A and B are shown apart, each in its own frame.
Chain A
Amino acid sequence: MSHKVYNWQLKSDMIYKYEESRPKKQIAWVFDTNKCIACQTCTMACKTTWTCGKGEEYMFWNNVESRPYGFYPLGWDVKLLEKLGKQEWDGDKYVGRTIFGSGEEGEELAGITPEDRDWAHPNIGEDEVTAQIEDGAYFGLPHMSWMFYLARICNHCTYPGCLAACPRKAIYKRKEDGIVLIDQERCRGYRKCVKGCPYKKAMFNLMTGRSEKCIACYPALEKGIKTRCVENCIGKIRIVSWLSTPDKAREDAPLDYLVHIKKVALPLYPQFGTEPNVYYIPPIHVDAKYLKQMFGPGVEDAIKTYRGNDETLVGLIKLFGSTDRIIETFKVENGNAIGFSNGEEIVRVPVKEPVIIREFHDEKLDVYRHSVT
């Protein structure tokens, strides 16, 4: 059974197991790869909150991979790219195959089941570059040898591969916020979702016999607090907020601004067809061909925009991370970047941190405020 649905990232229709049914609001993320430092604070924030139980030893719902040699699990995208074969774009419209309808006989979709040992070595490829650095290497942008950091969580897709693959319909997408969850009571551990998720974000727990996945920290989101990975990101690369469909994009909604208006944030492997809701500002120093394979045809324009020193864009990106609450709308004015929740100001930061000079001699206290003490 399959239905025709519209995927705006592909600018085309595609087939999916279920009818198109978008949530009332969609939680979404933007990660600026140019700010990511691969510190794995996000990884540990998530891990220590949710997956420190028995059976979850190898499980990291959030991870950061150094690209191109980093994978968790091993080769997850390379194997799927190989299985799908050539993925064709006609300008910004996708005309190739998605994972849906591409599966083997009896399969809902094309997927790869990782072997147990593929989950070992989560930080393989850390900092490894594409080409040998020779003696006396000296280069500018784009780098002739490069690596960059790709932070990954579940994408809470509009057309989730995991949800389509589950034979028991034990995976669902919440109507109020678009979060995709595996029902821990109804799951029977068939692991079709582990195979079906192209991003390998559904993971099996050997002790409980159930599969688990990133839950978008809904207990926090329900309180207006950011997801743990975003809250703890010290690189300040992440923002989590609500994404509208392209036709309803608002200039003052940060996700809409970055994704639909400035088009500086792009989806990960859109050609898989799931319409993922985590968007990446691509790394400005990396080979464009590789990036287009990963983020689609909008890469070069996105990089150009990012480097354009646009006041509002810069202000918003500097606002990332500065509060633990979800910013719903924002504005940049008079050298300040301001975040609002429900119309109320919740955070304000200067786009440039001020320089303050103190008096040398505080007469009242009779103390000399030396710099060199």
Chain B
Amino acid sequence: MDDKTFKKKVTRRDFIRVSSTGLFLAVSAEPVLSLLKPAVGIGNPLDYYPDRDWEKIYRDMYSYDSTFTFLCAPNDTHNCLLKAYVKNGVILYLGPTFGYGKAKDIYGNQASHRWDPRCCQKGLVMFRRIYGPRRVKYPSVRKGFKEWADKGFPRDKDGRVPDKFLNRGREPFVKVSFEEAYSLAAKAMVNIATTYSGKKGEERLKKQGYDEAMIEATHEAGTQTLKFRGGMPLLGATRIFGLARFANSMALLDEDIRKVGRDKAVGARGWDSYSWHTDLPPGHTMVTGHQTIDFDLATAENAKLIICWGMNWISTKMPDAHWLTEARLSGTKVVTVACEYQSTSNKADEVIVIRPGSDTAFALAMANVIIKEGLYDEKYVKSSTDLPFLVRLDNLKLLHPQDFIRDYKQKELENMELLDEGKMPPPSLKQVKQITTRKLREEWGDFAVWSKDTGAPGVITRDEAGQDGNFALEGEYEVQLIDGKKIKVQPVFQLLKEYSSEFTPEVTSKICHVSSSAIVNLARDIARNKEKTLVPVGMGPNHFFNNDLKDRAIFFVCALTKNIGYHGGNIGSFAGNYRGAYFNGLPRYLVEDPFDIEIDKTKPPKIKKYYKTESAHYYNYGDRPLRVGNKLFTGKTHMPTPTKFMWFANGNSILGNIKWHYDVVLNTLPKIDAIVVNEWWWTASCEYADVVFPVDSWAEFKYPDFTAAVTNPFLQIYPKTPLKRVNDSRGDIEVLAGVGKALADVTGLNNFKDYWKFVHENNVEVYLQRIIDGSTALKGYRIEKLEEDAEKGIPALLMTRTYPKIMGWEQSNENKPHYTKTGRLEFYRDEDEFIEYGENIPVHREPVDATFYEPNVIVCGTPGIIRPKQPEGYGLDRNDLSTEVRQVRNVVVSPIDLVKTSHPRRKDGFTHIYITPKYRHGAHTTPVDTDLMAIWFGPFGDPHRYDKRMPWVGEGYIDINPVDAKALGIEDGDYVHVDGDPEDRPYRGWKEGTEEYKVARCMMRARYYRGLPRGIARSWFHMYVATFGSVKAHETNPDKLARNPLTNYQAMFRYGSHQSATRAWLRPTLMTDSLARKDYFGQVIGKGFEADVYCTVGAPKESFIKITKAENGGIDHPLWRPAALGFRAGYENEAMKKYLKGEYI
């Protein structure tokens, strides 16, 4: 049937609509609609619809003019090439490229489309950030800083910057040109380096109260007080890692100031990244000698058992979550070991809940079961670990051949290359074997085992790594030393067997708040699946003070069961894009000799390292080392210098979202003369900066770069994009080059400019190709081809030994040595410091704050097996449990007695362990305040902000067990105060009633969360903190939006943040000068500090809190609306109750 339609052209029409609340709204007249057709004439709309021309609307919305590719790469370990759909030069929407299945290496190996698609919700809303209102729009200089600079950097008598110029966070920013911003940064650098150089500089630092060890570490070079950090430098081989290159060029400045000649000149300092984030699992370095054992997540399908241990796979490794669920589909068993029913738990066959921070004890208990029941792989243990090595019971040192063999001569090692004094190692590309100095080899010596054949101690060297033998694992033996004395010795295995036997299932279940059957069953399960158990351990356990111990213990379990270094059986730790070593040719860029720059693009550069590295944790800690009682615990190789200047890129974590944020802002920043930040979005780091350089977002890159990841095998190029820059921004590397040029202008040293020559010439491919040509996993690629493919959405493959790539493969499959002094997986630490701290064996230590029990106490009941120095030995009171002293306290308690002890704050009404893990809606702080993301981040998001108290359309919250909440008088949805230890949280020296305390004291929403057991509370760690400006706005804006009117900064807390309850912590075992470890790049093994490899790492999840109600959740009702209506857990109405039980059918 044909209907007669009629067209009535209507040009203007007012609509009056009645909304459900009864308000009348006039919808303004727009000539939206010109055709009105009556229903007459349409028959069955299932069957036929006459006029479908209107469908054009959505086809138009979908259509685009062109597409381009860019690489989205926050610090999330993934890196996804995204396809941008463009119309009229504007990005309409984003999507995946489906190019991962096309990735090839130079040998023709290809990935599959199982890897596609790759993107995420945060990436898809990225264009709202690219075009967003809080982009850094132009170079911005803090008003007070500019005044200080314009006046010529006047200083007080002790060299300090006068207070009136240091009103960070409370002043507006001034727009300047790039030239002026470059000039300001350059002049500040020169002024600061000069001020703190020489004897006069030292005196000033002394007057300012810095620790003498730190002052000494500057060696009178003022450039050593300049700190540079590119955040997770692997994220940008040239533009982010470029901050290190810049630090190297500072040697030019030092030479100019002190006139000491190029050989004695010193560059600036670079800060760490992986260890800064507490992503480095420091026990990995102790056991394997190198940074981390990990594996591409695609290898999940090779395993029969996967234990997600404090690792929330589906929320933090989202594009690779399908490998887990698909492995499960094919029969792999998935277990979660976590302190809650995690999001990943809903994909698990078994759920095990455990007290956070008690992982070491849990692992030891499993080891106990495995040893007791004889389930370990004897051959693997004897060949690949130090477990058969003999320990002297008189001094707890490893037995060496020279102890019992007169005139013992060390073997000539074949599996190592030895360097004589003063000789430099070959470049990465030429390195075949592991390399160390002759001096170190002699220091480490050879080792001893008990030969069952001879009934006597036998010599074993590094060359026997990977080789089995008829030596004892158990027993106690007597050895006669060359001086005639007779001593007792035991194999390391025997010590660990005795120690772990204390951790019976019953005792451990009380310590760990874990089921004793879980301990037994899981241990047997792992042992049943040798070479087939993958154990990804996450940042849950790693963010505790005892993180190195938990690694050593979990490695012990995996070593016993032959689950290290196989595609189906391995241990893993995954956080951040840390393995800059994939690009081991990077030294050609990072430490090119600034005095002898190679400007011929066809020639390789000359290398000279002038800059030094240190951990930023000391800056976090108040810019001081760990000096407690009568001891300086920070080793010389770790010693930081005073921080008088900092410049960082791509890293809000170093200031905006730093642990102990308010302490850093109020107590440490005032000591820093200048803070320079590269950012494309206005973060809390910008709030407290002096100079902010606006940089390009990934979609606007005009300079290529590359990156890689530890969870996938791809080499990822950042292609240049055709998108016109939205603001007046520059590339990160352009900014470096710009400041370099300004330094050349200020100092007259042209090398500062030439160091960035290829940036000035828009030819950074030269640097990139140099890195490729020097890198073992990249050589063979041409940057032009890589760029071309990336523009099409196709990455390349890293060429390590295997695909998927896994660490430990050569050691377990080809008997190559590990990177330790013994060449084996090491469980015993006989360095003096470890013996002194009671950690020669992997003991269980309680967390240093986040525990119900005595913080940091060592749990051990076997006398003599550890002999830690007691507090009195450091000049400390045994009963001093203050936060500072706790860090070095080696008091021992037996496993049975532990649960009788108590955290000192429990008597003051502090009740909860407070953890701040990572979640699906964040990648650090990068995407969280994007409006669409904030609305979905948790239960409280609301695009209309009906409750005007909300700081933004989404806000921070704390998850609490409902039983606990009720006991504290807290309802679901209420605002609560979260207070950490008042000794130093939210910052040292806080005073009630002050503006600072109001800004810093945290207030957030509470959510009833049954997934957490009692006594554990949790906030996600991503949300934007409250700042002075945001709090002022929240209290004075009529609509209460927490947006700083001076800077547009948008907070997601009304007051304070999760970082109000956290602080910096320094751990003694991570600051020794004696631990052997591989260098960051290449095959060289050294000892002592190495940034991101062996380093103090902090402990973000260490907090014990008090939670008190602040305000009702609701506005027209005490409860927030969903609870009042009966849809929330604990408040269910009748219909909800029926529905939950499935009673409607």
Contact = CB atoms under 8 A, between A and B. Distances in A.
A207 B27 contact: yes
Contacts of A217: 62
B292 to A, nearest CB: 10
Interface stretch (B252-260, B773-781, B1027-1035): B773-781
Nearest to B813: A357
B942 A120 contact: yes
A68 B1138 CA distance: 12
A88 B1145 CA distance: 5
Interface in A102-151: 113, 115-117, 120-141, 143, 145-149
B125 A48 contact: yes
A373 B800 contact: yes
Interface stretch (A6-14, A161-169, A246-254): A161-169
A121 B941 contact: yes
B622 interface: no
Given A79-B1135, A360-B801, A369-B800, A353 B318 contact: no
A135 B1014 contact: yes
B1081 A373 contact: yes
Nearest to B105: A358
B1145 A175 contact: no
Interface centre among A207, A321, A322, A356 (most CB of B within 10 A): A356
A19 B46 contact: yes
Contacts of B777: 369-370, 373
A365 B114 CA distance: 31
A169 B1135 contact: no
A235 interface: yes
B353 A137 contact: yes
Contacts of A349: 101, 112-114
B331 A232 contact: no
B602 interface: no
Interface centre among A115, A232, A290, A323 (most CB of B within 10 A): A232
Contacts of A220: 62
Interface string B437-470: 0000000000000000000000000000000000
B325 A57 contact: no
Contacts of A74: 1122, 1125, 1127
B801 A357 contact: yes
Given A50-B61, A234-B119, A365-B780, A183 B54 contact: yes
Contacts, number: 431
Contacts of B302: 355
B1119 interface: no
Nearest to A311: B330
A314 B326 CA distance: 8
B325 A133 contact: no
B322 A235 contact: yes
Interface stretch (B160-168, B428-436, B612-620, B752-760): B428-436
Contacts of B47: 18-19, 21, 175
A231 B83 CA distance: 12
Contacts of B329: 34, 306, 309, 314, 317-318
A41 B717 CA distance: 23
Contacts of A369: 776-777, 799-801
Contacts of A77: 1139
B353 A219 contact: no
B869 interface: no
A208 B32 contact: yes
A235 B776 contact: no
A324 B97 CA distance: 9
Contacts of B315: 37, 39
Given A19-B46, A128-B1010, A145-B1010, A219 B58 contact: yes
A340 interface: no
Given A122-B935, A232-B95, A358-B802, A134 B1009 contact: no
B479 interface: no
Interface residues of B, number: 159
Contacts of A137: 341, 351-353, 515, 1013
Contacts of B431: 368, 370
B977 interface: no
Contact of B127 (A48, A309, A360): A48
B1128 interface: yes
Contact of A78 (B351, B579, B1135): B1135
A57 to B, nearest CB: 4
Interface stretch (B33-41, B151-159, B550-558, B1060-1068): B33-41
Interface stretch (B14-22, B822-830, B885-893): B14-22
Interface string B103-134: 00101010011101111110011011000000
B304 to A, nearest CB: 13
B1142 A291 contact: yes
Contact of A18 (B44, B95, B1128): B44
A143 B344 CA distance: 13
Q: Describe B's contact surface by its main secondary structure.
A: loop
B374 interface: no
Contact of B515 (A21, A138, A185, A354): A138
A177 to B, nearest CB: 12
Interface stretch (B139-147, B262-270, B803-811, B982-990): B803-811
A66 to B, nearest CB: 9
Interface centre among A74, A86, A130, A355 (most CB of B within 10 A): A355
Nearest to B818: A372
A173 B44 CA distance: 9
A236 B112 CA distance: 14
A206 interface: yes
A152 B940 CA distance: 20
Contacts of A260: none
A219 B85 CA distance: 14
A314 B932 CA distance: 35
A85 B1142 CA distance: 12
Contact of A49 (B61, B1012, B1128): B61
Contact of A232 (B117, B1009, B1128): B117
A49 B544 CA distance: 42
A218 B330 contact: no
Contact of A185 (B33, B1143, B1144): B33
A69 B1129 contact: yes
Contacts of B57: 184
B341 A129 contact: yes
B336 to A, nearest CB: 11
A116 B21 contact: yes
Nearest to B920: A39
A126 B1008 CA distance: 11
Contact of A120 (B39, B331, B944, B1011): B944
Contacts of B121: 39-41, 43-44
B290 interface: yes
Contact of B42 (A169, A285, A309, A347): A169
Contact of B46 (A18, A147, A317, A351): A18
B1140 A138 contact: no
Contacts of A124: 939, 1122, 1127
A133 B1012 contact: yes
A346 B972 CA distance: 50
Interface in A22-75: 34-35, 37-41, 43-45, 47-50, 57-58, 68-69, 71, 74-75
B802 A371 contact: yes
Nearest to A294: B1142
A370 B21 contact: no
B549 to A, nearest CB: 22
17 contacts: A18-B47, A37-B325, A40-B920, A75-B1135, A78-B1139, A81-B1135, A81-B1138, A81-B1144, A84-B1144, A138-B514, A183-B54, A186-B54, A322-B114, A352-B330, A367-B776, A368-B431, A368-B432
Given A123-B936, A136-B353, A143-B351, 14 more contacts: A71-B1127, A79-B1135, A123-B938, A137-B515, A147-B1011, A159-B46, A232-B117, A235-B318, A323-B113, A349-B114, A358-B800, A371-B807, A372-B581, A373-B776
**A-B interface, 8 closest residue pairs, ranked by CB to CB distance from nearest:** A289-B1142, A138-B515, A172-B49, A219-B62, A172-B45, A322-B113, A137-B353, A37-B314
